[in-house]
Amino acid sequence: MAERGRDRTTRGQFGGADTERAHHREAAHAVPRPTPPSEPTTSTEVTQERERAPQRTWTLVPARRRTDVRSLLAVRIGRAAAMLSRVCGFGGGGTIGGRVALAVQPDLLRRLTTGRRVVLVTGTNGKTTTTQLTAEALRAAAPAVTNATGDNMPAGHIAALLQHRNAPFAALEVDELHLARVTEQVEPAVIVLLNLSPDQLDRVGEVRTVATSLRGALERSPRAHVIANRDDPNVVLAAALHPAVTWVSAGPQRRADTWICPQCGSILTNLDQEWHCSCGLHCPDADWVVTDAGVVGPDGVQRALELRLPGHINRVNATFALAVGTSLGASAEDVLQRVRGMQQASGRYAEVRLNGRDVRLLLAKNPASWVEMLDLIGEHTRPVLLLVNSRVADGQEVSWLWEVDFDFLAGREVWVGGERALDLAVRLRYAGVPCRVTETAWQALGRMPEEDIDVLANYTAFRDLLTSKEGA
């Protein structure tokens, strides 16, 4: 919490002043208790909640509630569709079940979340892992459901909520362009904003559009507690005006675009430190700071993270989970104990055996996450298999491969595959990294050296490798 002397008015606008911060923290604990839909939370109840001491343990109030016939029907039919899909071998069935249930009862998301404390996690990178870490963190206090498959659209949310209808907590990963829509139906207790960088350029459009859409979603959720990345100017633009924000310092983003102020278009300076813009947008004071040694919380205590998940990026993800868990009443120690145990999140970072090889699976969907995952790969000299597809879910444009540095792979055994294997091959040629092009990931693994292998893949290539081994 540096720069105490900064202009109060500006600081206040961005939730920086300490007195206001303390008030917000209390308010943040004043999340409405679970109530049946017939008794909507009134402002009186919120006031009573505010007067309570912020530290307390949750009494478990079952989230079961009376449901209307249509919703019951939606749930039943959705479950049947999911089971049918599983039996027929189409996959886990969750998403199709959610879709069917939504078709029967379009209002289902609101009905299934009423009375639960819902955490919505969004941002470009780290959503799935952070959502998993958050669910685990919340389980330190009470049962939690989550869309573990990474299906971050409403159908996936329904599927998650159907898993355990009495769980008081739900940690839901939300696509950044869908947060606004989800908050029309869901009143979240906490919204997590991780980061914003260009993702799938041909689909999502410009980052600032996303930031503006997120800002709208936050305006619609004035009672939510926002936990946001203060190092990312686009995230700050989205969250700065919200009345209750906890800021996490995750270390500067490496993306060049964030050098432009998303509010006024000026060039930002000091992005690696306390960035500020002449228009008033600036880096707010941090409540949680990720350090090389661990994490420092708002209580000033430094805690070691000691995660099994690799890399700096997961220390950041875990810190967001820690901030969520503690804001919803769990103790930091209990949360840490749980998140330390996590080895993988929906297959990400999983160590598996494929075609006779021990493989570490790394997912990277866009330039920012490729940089992060290549950092992990750079920690040793294992053979590497890179897989890139360009389907709708991946984004059709793969020119971002040229935003990423591959030079350090020179001298290692490198194979490339996926639908865009040739783009990778040309990219690596110009990076001075010899590579071999493979028809399928499975074949490549069989021909690679019999040692530990890192596989780095983008979204559908990763999914294919996880689900259909022979054909991948």
Partner 1 sequence: MTVRVAHVLPDLLGSHGDRGNALVLVRRLNWRGIAAEQVTVHAADGHVPGNCDLYVLGGGEDIAQVAAVRVLNRSTQLLRTLRRGVPLLGISSGFQVLGESFVTGDGARHEGLGLVDASTTPGTQRVTGEVTADSTLPRVGTLTGFENHLGQTRIGAQEQPLGRVTSGIGNDEDTTDGVVHGHVVCSYLHGPLLARNPKLADLLLEWALGEPLEPIQEPPEIDQLRRERSCRPVRARK
Residues lying near partner 1 in the complex (CB under 8 A) are found at: 198, 201-202, 205-208, 255-257, 259-260, 262, 265-267, 269, 390-393, 396-403, 422-423, 425-427, 429-432, 437
Q: Hey, what are 222's tokens? A: 């004035």
Q: 454, 383 in Cβ contact below 8 A?
A: yes
Q: How far is the CB of 393 from partner 1 (least distance, A)?
A: 7
Q: Hey, what are 270's tokens? A: 């000091």
Q: How far is the CB of 236 from partner 1 (least distance, A)?
A: 16
Query: Is the CB of 255 or the CB of 338 nearer to partner 1?
Result: 255
Q: Hey, what are 188's tokens? A: 């979240």
CA–CA separation, 114 and 391 (whole Å):
36
Q: How far is the CB of 376 from partner 1 (least distance, A)?
A: 22
Q: How many residues does the chain have?
A: 472
**Calculated CA dihedral for residues 48, 52, 58, 62, nearest 10 degrees:** -10
Query: Is the CB of 17 or the CB of 373 nearer to partner 1?
Result: 373
CA–CA separation, 425 and 387 (whole Å):
11
Q: How far is the CB of 281 from partner 1 (least distance, A)?
A: 13
Query: Is the CB of 163 or the CB of 396 nearer to partner 1?
Result: 396
Query: Is the CB of 58 or the CB of 402 nearer to partner 1?
Result: 402
Query: Is the CB of 57 or the CB of 269 nearer to partner 1?
Result: 269
Q: How far is the CB of 422 from partner 1 (least distance, A)?
A: 4
Q: How far is the CB of 246 from partner 1 (least distance, A)?
A: 28
Task: Enumerate residues 6+ apart whose C-beta is below 8 A from 450.
Answer: 356, 357
Query: Is the CB of 207 or the CB of 240 nearer to partner 1?
Result: 207
